[in-house]
């Protein structure tokens, strides 16, 4: 996860991180129309630098101050998702944590489903993921629909065969 805070000074650096990314979360401030409008520029950056099938979620942040300071309505976010052909819209509060867990759970499940659909082997019973020297798993619960568990474990280190004395 790379958080560039949307700053121009990071724009050239972010280009190298798009390659090989499976998902991008574009966050705008719901109290700033300017922040919302910059989403179009960041989407162009994604189109020019990321893989074609990267998932892109749009997130309106700062709902904790929405009543007093909202400049961007939910409907505008929904229209932006349609216009730019993004995958999903969430409104969150980084300050209170509202909807953050749901955002990452939904995105993770979406990534899991997309990956297994590409392989033609989607099953709703979990999967193992291996990356370098790590292993992890995603487990979906049939008892609690819509929930899943992520776990991460390192491979045990191989022990060298010690020579026995005498």
Instruction: Note the pTM of the prediction, 2 decimals.
Output: 0.69
Can you give the residue ranges of every domain in the chain? 8-122, 123-155
Burial 65-91 (b: 16+ CB within 10 A, else e): ebeeeeebeeeebeebbeebebbebbb
Q: Give residue for tokens 């990267």.
A: 54
Task: Quickly list DSSP for 55-107.
Answer: EEEEEEE-GGGHHHH--S-HHHHHHHHHHHT-SEEEE--TTT-TTHHHHHHHH
What's the CA gap between 43 and 10, in Å, rounded? 15
Task: Let me know: does 10 contact 4? Beta carbons within 8 Å.
Answer: yes
Q: What is the pLDDT of residues 56-113, one digit of tens each?
A: 999 999 999 999 999 999 999 999 999 999 999 999 999 999 999 999 999 999 999 9
Q: Check if CATH label 3.40.50.300 holds for domain 8-122.
A: yes
Within 10 angstroms of residue 23's Cβ, the number of other Cβ atoms is 16
What's the CA gap between 115 and 161, in Å, rounded? 39
Which residue in 50, 44, 72, 46 sits closest to 59, CA to CA? 72
- pLDDT (0 to 100) of residue 115: 83
Supply the mean pLDDT for the chain.
Answer: 77
- pLDDT (0 to 100) of residue 137: 43
Q: What is the pLDDT of residues 149-163, one digit of tens each?
A: 544 444 444 444 555
Bridge partner residues of 53 (DSSP): none
* pLDDT confidence tier of residue 165, bands split at 50, 70 and 90: low
What's the CA gap between 65 and 93, in Å, rounded? 9
* pLDDT confidence tier of residue 8, bands split at 50, 70 and 90: low
Burial 105-140 (b: 16+ CB within 10 A, else e): ebbeebebebeeeeeeeeeeeebeeeeeeeeeebeb
């Amino acid at each position: 996860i790379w958080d560039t805070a949307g700053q121009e000074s990071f724009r050239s650096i972010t280009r190298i991180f798009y390659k090989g990314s499976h998902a991008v979360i574009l966050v705008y401030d719901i109290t700033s129309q300017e922040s919302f409008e910059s989403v179009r520029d960041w989407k162009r950056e994604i189109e020019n630098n990321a893989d074609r099938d990267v998932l892109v979620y749009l997130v309106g942040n700062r709902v904790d101050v929405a009543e007093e300071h909202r400049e961007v309505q939910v409907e505008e976010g929904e229209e932006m998702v349609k216009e730019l052909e993004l995958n999903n819209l969430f409104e969150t509060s980084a300050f209170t944590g509202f909807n953050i867990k749901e955002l990452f759970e939904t995105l993770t499940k979406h990534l899991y489903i997309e990956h297994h659909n590409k392989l033609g082997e989607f099953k709703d019973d979990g999967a193992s993921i291996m990356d370098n020297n790590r292993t992890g798993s995603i487990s979906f619960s049939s008892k609690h629909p819509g929930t899943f568990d992520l776990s991460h474990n390192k491979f045990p280190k191989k022990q060298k065969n010690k020579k026995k004395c005498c």
